[in-house]
Amino acid sequence: MKQIRMIDIKQQILSDNDNLANEIRDTLKENDVFMVNIMSSPGAGKTTLLLETIRRLKNEMRIGVIEGDIESMVDAKKITESGALAVQIRTGGDCHLDAPMVQPAIEMLDLNTVDTLFLENIGNLVCPAEFDTGAMRKVMLLSVPEGDDKVLKYPLMFTVCDALIITKVDCMGMFDFDAETLRKRVKAINPKIKIIMLCSKTGENMDEWINWLKNQREMCLTK
């Protein structure tokens, strides 16, 4: 009985969330703002990838970052220092970002001052996959040290994302990571996903990521 009540509430919350996410997406589109939801395990390199992305793109577009964290503002400080706009969401325990958390953060930003907005989600390969935040694209990072078997264990995240960025490829060989095995496993559950292997620190394949982002921005805002 309690179980059924829980499910009803969860469905209601997910449905309210989806409606609000659609409203957020419409508002962003009207204001010509492209929003990307960046998800991964803790420590896979979300902030490092964003800092390098900002460095490469800041002369051609204005970038904003909504930082999701349970506690602390360390990442928001780094983003601000890089020259991008940053807004911090402190969830105070919650394990994911959802549309009701993202909406006030967007209201705090002047959408006329931003072209591309990144949402740095809580480091968690499970719960964030369930929630539409209003972003136009979902991107996940998987770092080489995590291993090539993660798609078997956390399939939903790999299923919902438009792109999989494999990070820290400079330490391939030190860890149990077979890129071809991973690619087959991922494509089996999500054939359309774009897979990019890169290293934010050395810059390897960063161009592929930047070009993908620019193309997606174009596609989402001109449709």
Contact positions toward a second copy, by CB under 8 A? Answer: 2, 5-6, 9, 12-13, 41-43, 69-72, 74, 93, 95, 122-127, 143, 145-147, 149-150, 152-156, 168, 171, 174
What's the sign of the alpha-carbon dihedral 97, 98, 99, 100?
Answer: negative
**Strand-by-strand arrangement of the 116-120 sheet:** 85-90, 63-69, 116-120, 34-39, 137-143, 163-167, 194-197
CA-to-CA distance for 216 and 196, rounded, in angstroms? Answer: 14
Q: Specify the residue, 138 or 217, whose C-beta has the smaller distance to a second copy.
A: 138
**Hey, how many other C-beta atoms are within 10 angstroms of the C-beta on 53?**
23
Nearer to a second copy, 28 or 86 (CB): 86
Rounded to whole angstroms, the Cα distance separating 206 from 199 reads: 7
CB of 143 to a second copy, least distance (A): 6
Residue type, 155: P
Q: Please identify, using beta-carbon distances, which residue of 149 and 208 lies nearer to a second copy.
A: 149
Cβ distance to a second copy smaller for residue 29 or 90: 90
> Least distance in Å: CB of 5 to a second copy?
7
Q: How far does Cα 41 stand from its chain's mean position?
A: 11
The distance of closest approach from Cβ of residue 191 to a second copy in the complex, given in angstroms and rounded to an integer, is: 18
| In the complex, least distance from residue 81 CB atom to a second copy, rounded to whole angstroms | 15
Identify the bridge partners of residue 139 per DSSP, sorted by sequence position: 38, 163
- For 30, phi and psi rounded to 5 degrees? -60, -30
Q: Minimum Å distance from CB 115 to a second copy?
A: 28
